[in-house]
Copies of this chain bind each other. A is one copy, B any other.
Amino acid sequence: MKGFAMKKIGEVGWVEKDKPDYGPYDALVKPIALAPCTSDIHTVWAGAIGERTDMILGHEALGVIAEVGSEVKDFKPGDKVIVPAITPDWYSDAVQRGFSSQTGGPLSGWKFSNFKDGVFGEYFHVNVADWNLAHLPEEIPLEAAVMIPDMLTTGFMGAENAKIPMGGSVAVLGIGPVGLSAVAGAQLQGAGRIFAVGTRPNCVDVAKKYGATDIISYKDGNTADQIVEATDGEGVDAVIVAGGNSNILIDAVNTARAGSVISNINYFGEGDTLPIPRVGWGFGMADKDFATGLCPGGRVRMENLADIVKYGRMDPGLMATHVFHGFEKIEEALLLMKDKPRDLIKPVVIIDENL
């Protein structure tokens, strides 16, 4: 089978591999829609997870079941499925402690294009199919549904972890697709006023549709200062960090009021350490907590988020600014993600509408 792979750090290309083996609880899946993620870019060009050789990329997919193991009960060949980016083992210490994404070690619920080949192949392997896959509702268009496996679950987690009081104020720092999902998630968690920090016109437009009430641009000055001023010197009840470099936590802390949560969904790719501002943090005593996490995966999460979309609570399809058709377009879509043109929110590749 063919797959689009990281050949080594800094190099991508098509590879030919055997179809993956699978165990009695697992499934073999063919993709029907795919999306590249900024993490793929980090993986290849920043060496974020270290060297890999001919590893098939990708962890955002919808698929159709090709084959299932002997113990799989709820899925059969031909079923269309949502495949979460995070597929925990479920037989795991971390699951029992309540942190399923950390199953088997830190971040080890993330398997695709990390510990095994990803979803940018003609076939890919899914562990514990009954409990990591969800049936894809017919009502949801593919370009919307393909946001569920990573964008929505990550962005929504950012909002859930932020413990937003009903009607409380929120700032979302960064409005790429994860940040936009966090804006939508904040609205779905009862936020009142939502500050969205960003400048790209497409992103600003979608942010407003997802519930942002105030758009803040770095071009108008320090963003923390702007938000604090807009809130009469108080700051906001919750900050969601969805972008930025190593110093973004400084802004985040300075944007948050005394008694608040700073919820991080940003991947930090650089720097030995990440600075927290001492005075802004009240010398460690201002009740500004930090919440973190790796996005929840698993079947129930995917089913629940599919219901969010199916029942029209928000439309993730608005983020699919660039839709490609055909498996071979993965390369172009990935490179688009790397180049990040100003009008891009998220590229999507539809493999076959009729599958």
Contacts and interface: CB of A to CB of B under 8 A. Distances in A.
Interface of A: 25, 48, 90-102, 105-107, 128, 130-131, 156, 160, 165-169, 185, 187-194, 211, 213, 237, 241, 246, 249-250, 258-259, 264-278, 281-294, 298-301, 303-308, 310-311, 313
Contacts of A289: 289-292
Given A267-B285, A288-B292, A289-B292, A273 B275 contact: yes
Query: Which A-B residue pairs are the 3 nearest by beta carbons?
Result: A167-B304, A192-B307, A99-B259
B130 A313 contact: no
A241 B290 CA distance: 15
Nearest to A130: B91
A226 B237 CA distance: 38
16 contacts: A90-B91, A91-B91, A91-B130, A98-B259, A102-B258, A106-B258, A107-B285, A167-B305, A167-B306, A192-B307, A267-B283, A269-B283, A272-B275, A274-B276, A274-B278, A288-B292
A213 B308 CA distance: 11
Nearest to A163: B98
Given A187-B313, A190-B189, A277-B272, A93 B283 contact: no
Interface hub of A258, A270, A275, A293 (most chain B Cβ within 10 A): A258
Contact of A308 (B98, B131, B166): B166
Given A92-B131, A293-B285, A273 B269 contact: no
Contact of A276 (B249, B282, B310): B249
A292 B298 contact: no
Given A97-B165, A167-B313, A281-B292, 16 more contacts: A25-B91, A48-B283, A93-B299, A93-B300, A94-B258, A96-B100, A96-B299, A105-B258, A160-B166, A167-B303, A167-B304, A192-B308, A268-B278, A268-B283, A271-B278, A273-B278
Contacts of A187: 188, 313
A165 B293 CA distance: 17
Contact of A107 (B106, B264, B278, B286): B286
A192 B306 CA distance: 8
Contacts of A265: 284
A83 to B, nearest CB: 16
Given A98-B98, A107-B286, A308 B190 contact: yes
A287 B99 contact: yes
Contacts of A90: 90-91, 95
Interface hub of A90, A211, A246, A301 (most chain B Cβ within 10 A): A90
Interface hub of A99, A246, A259, A269 (most chain B Cβ within 10 A): A259
A68 to B, nearest CB: 14
Contacts of A308: 166-167, 190, 192
Contact of A285 (B25, B250, B292, B303): B292
Nearest to A148: B167
A266 B281 CA distance: 12
Given A193-B311, A298-B96, A101 B287 contact: yes
Given A258-B99, A300-B93, A272 B276 contact: no
A307 B170 CA distance: 12
